Amino acid sequence: EVQLVESGGGLGQPGGSLRLSCPASGFTFSNYAMHWVRQAPGKGLQYLSVISADGRTTNYADSVKDRFTISRDNSKNTLFLQMRSLRVEDTAVYYCVKSAHCSRVDCPDHFDYWGHGSLVTVSS
């Protein structure tokens, strides 16, 4: 059974940093590109970032480029999202998401598994 379990959320200060982790199990983690998606309170889903299976290639939405960094540790089957320069508008539930088939970031692919999300609240 595929499991994605986000952690590391909580209260962050404006201008501060937080790091989310997402340990994965139930599939060969190192074979798949992985993504982060968020949902702000009362808002829709917002795509954030993707990382290739080997961790060498990444891509970001403009809204988080230069502030957020996606990474992975294939030896620990874990996906990360480092968030810096936090803003109040970064308050959201953050989901770790698995590509259905692809290992590369430029491979068109839908999502087949989602974690249950980690709530990040940015407030002073």
Partner 1 sequence: DIVLTQSPGTLSLSPGERVSLSCRASQSVSGNYLAWYQHKPGQTPRLLILGASTRAPGIPDRFSGSGSGTDFTLTISRLEPEDFAVYYCQQYGRSPRTFGQGTKVEF
- The C-alpha atoms of residue 32 and residue 74 are separated, in whole angstroms, by 10
How far apart CA 56 and CA 61 sit, in angstroms, is 17
Residue of 60, 68, 80, 94 that binds partner 1 (CB under 8 A): 60
Binding of residue 9 to partner 1 (CB under 8 A): no
> Smallest distance, Å, CB 124 to partner 1?
28
> Is the distance from CB of 98 to CB of 34 less than 8 angstroms?
yes
Binding residues among 36-55 for partner 1 as defined by CB under 8 A = 37, 44-47, 49-50
Query: Which residue number, 12 or 83, has a Cβ lying nearer to partner 1?
Result: 83
CB of 42 to partner 1, least distance (A): 11
How near is the Cβ of 99 to partner 1 at its closest, in Å? 9
Is 6 a residue that touches partner 1 (CB under 8 A)? Answer: no
Query: Is position 112 an interface residue for partner 1 (rule: CB under 8 A)?
Result: yes
DSSP string, 46-110: EEEEEE-TTS--EEE-TTTTTTEEEEEETTTTEEEEEE-S--GGG-EEEEEEEESS-SSTTS---
CB 94 within 8 A of CB 9: yes
Give the binding site for partner 1 (CB under 8 A).
Answer: 35, 37, 44-47, 49-50, 59-62, 95, 105-106, 108-112, 114-117
